[in-house]
Structure 1
Amino acid sequence: MKEIIKAWKHIFKLDPDREMADDTLDAVCMSGSDAIMVGGSSGITYENTVDLLSRVRRYELPCVQEVSDLSAVVPGFDLYMIPMVLNTDDSRWITGLHQAAIEEYGYMIPWELLVPEGYIVLNSDSTVAKLTEAHTDIEESSVTAYAQVADKLMNLPIVYIEYSGTFGDMPTVRAAQQVISNAQLFYGGGICDYDTAVEAAKVSDTIVVGNIVYSDLQAAISTVKAVKLE
């Protein structure tokens, strides 16, 4: 299953804390996207995660959980994505919370299903940036250095550039993609239509589309077509 991720070009990220009608979920899951990622920065509970997973499981596409709260980890996902925020001085978000989780639950962790992600958070107004106190006002050279830390020093399979809620600087994303040799570059943030999807897909390996699903379904679906045509 981990190898399959390398073929993913498009992922819809769904938030368990946000309402989604059945017909909307049906359109999302039947859109041709490569996978569904379940996760968010706040309001995530075991109950709402179980509910969303059970609804997505009616479809055949892979469903992964991005773990942000241990109390909301739900059995039954295909993979579990483990974020490590690199551009913060607070070590809790790099290894601290991870160590605590392993110390308490290590005996029951399905290691073969875990996929660590080296996050570079670049939107200062985002919930995740505020929560982790990420250093978002950094130069391109710093972003590429973080990307290489993840790829070459930590040997992480995914470098995730997150602009969460706003469309990022594509030359910076491209620069990060060009300096990594093994990791897969995920990009998320502000992809809201066909054109932004095309732009993001040109400089990353996988685009992650989230917020637009809740406000403009047709625009969200068009992001799949943009990537598949690329």
Structure 2
Amino acid sequence: MSLRSSYAAVDAVRVVAQELFGDATNPVPNWTHVTKVDPEPDKRLPTLFPAYLAATDAVSVGGSSGVTAAHTEATFAALSTAPVPAFHEPSAAAHVTPATREAATFLTLPEVLNGDSESLVGRLGAGVESLHDDQVPAAVAHALPSTLADRSLQSRVGDRLVDVLTSWLVRTAVSEAYIVQNPDSAAAREAGVTADDVLEPAEARRRALAAEHRLDSEIVYLEYSGTYGGEAATETLERLDEATQWARVWYGGGVRSRAAAEAVLSAGADTVVVGDVFHDVADEEATLAAAYREAVGDPDPETVASWVAGRADDTTAAAYLSTVPSVDAPTERARELLTATLVCRLWLTDDGPPAPWTVPAFADQFADGAETFARRLGRAVREPSDDYERALAASLATVE
């Protein structure tokens, strides 16, 4: 059998496996809920973010504007204590660094199916160029033994390794085929999507078929970016679900309630992605902490718990937790977390409150390591001593 025939046979096995066994062969886990964490400098994490993220299945790190490699690395460093895997959805090749590749469970290559050619081909080309010309050669040069004294041999070996490793990294990255349906969003502006590019369900189905059968996209992502798509989105999701056998269908955009999450999942989405409501919890915490200090100020944990219980039930924390179908009582859970958060923030800024890890409302939020996390959080606010604590200081809005 010729090498060409052998290659074709291997490819045939892969295609048959995909079509016969469907999503069982997809390397992306069949998650129900993913939380998107944006590395933009103005986007903060909730103080007790590990406890919130314990409810989700995975974390996606990536944003559309104002993101840098340094911010991305800091976000991954802060998330290193999260109890779920984190993967990278870069919006630019420059955001991918050796540190992010090591920290991320996997890397995605976003491709916008209804944007301009730059969003589908240009960015992919820029990403491959960055790998081929900069990142992989640097890694190869570091890895090659210094005993290869013959520079011509070193060059030949290095060049071949660069080609092989670049192809390997591109092929092992997850292809994420986006259909961007909110032309007023930052994601649409970045991808060149206008109102004329918004797809009807039938056309979205055609793009999904191309994504699965030609582009080998592991994910087909219906993106409304901050706006809930409603009936238009659920109708489109039904067509995407019908079109795909192997690819995962993800939905993101404006989900802030149990009803919205269940609607998109029932319509055919494998995974619901939420982002803004998670970051909004951090803003809510700052507002609540300031209100508590002005209205009460007593650091006694029972007093804090009573004050939090007297607040309205429709907190942002409850809204985020309600988007996770597996959380049975999001309102009650939100009260516990907000009580623990206020106790922790009082401890971080005042001398009087008890150590938070001695308070059940705090300690119960962590399977283990509550004291360790609280102490590192304290150092992050007061005097960070390592990269992780500096990342926490950059990512958390813990002091008003």
Tell me, in whole angstroms, the C-alpha distance in 1 between the residues paired with 2:187 and 2:46.
28
Alignment counterpart, residue 177 of structure 1, candidates 238, 241, 266: 241
Q: 5 Å matches for 1:158-177?
A: 158-168=219-229, 169=232, 170-177=234-241
**1:57-79 superposed Cα distances (whole Å, 9 cap, x missing partner):** 11231100101122221232111
Contact persistence 2:249–2:269 (CA under 8 A): yes
1 or 2, which has the higher strand percentage?
1
Shift of 1:24: 4.4
Alignment counterpart, residue 198 of structure 1, candidates 262, 266, 277: 262
Tell me, in whole angstroms, the C-alpha distance in 2 between the residues paired with 1:178 and 1:160.
14
Tell me, in whole angstroms, the C-alpha distance in 1 between the residues paired with 2:65 and 2:180.
16
Contact persistence 1:123–1:136 (CA under 8 A): no
CA distance 1:82–1:28, shift in 2 (3 Å): farther
Unaligned regions of 5+ residues in structure 2, if any? 1-24, 137-165, 281-315, 329-400
Contact persistence 2:225–2:253 (CA under 8 A): yes
SS of residue matched to 2:273: strand
Q: Which residue of 2 aligns with 1:208?
A: 273
Tell me, in whole angstroms, the C-alpha distance in 2 between the residues paired with 1:151 and 1:141.
16
User: Are residues 1:41 and 2:57 paired?
Assistant: no
SS of residue matched to 2:28: helix
Shift of 1:105: 1.7
Alignment counterpart, residue 20 of structure 1, candidates 30, 39, 44: 44
The code of the aligned residue for 2:125 comes to Q
The code of the aligned residue for 2:187 comes to V
User: Are residues 1:138 and 2:199 paired?
Assistant: yes
Q: % of aligned pairs identical? A: 29
Contact persistence 2:39–2:75 (CA under 8 A): yes
Contact persistence 1:129–1:136 (CA under 8 A): no
Tell me, in whole angstroms, the C-alpha distance in 2 between the residues paired with 1:130 and 1:42.
10
Q: Which residue of 1 aligns with 2:173?
A: 114
Which has the greater radius of gyration?
2
User: Are residues 1:218 and 2:245 paired?
Assistant: no
Q: What TM-score do the two structures reach when normalised by structure 2?
A: 0.53
The code of the aligned residue for 1:64 comes to F
Shift of 1:95: 1.6
Alignment counterpart, residue 96 of structure 1, candidates 122, 130, 133: 122
The code of the aligned residue for 2:83 comes to E
96-105 vs 53-62, which moves further:
96-105
1 or 2, which has the higher helix percentage?
2
**1:87-145 superposed Cα distances (whole Å, 9 cap, x missing partner):** 12x21211222123213422625346510111100011111112212254332111111
Runs of 4+ in 1 over 3 A off after TM superposition: 109-113
CA distance 1:160–1:21, shift in 2 (3 Å): closer
How many residue pairs match? The answer is 225
The code of the aligned residue for 1:41 comes to S
The code of the aligned residue for 1:23 comes to T
Q: What TM-score do the two structures reach when normalised by structure 1?
A: 0.89
Contact persistence 2:177–2:211 (CA under 8 A): yes
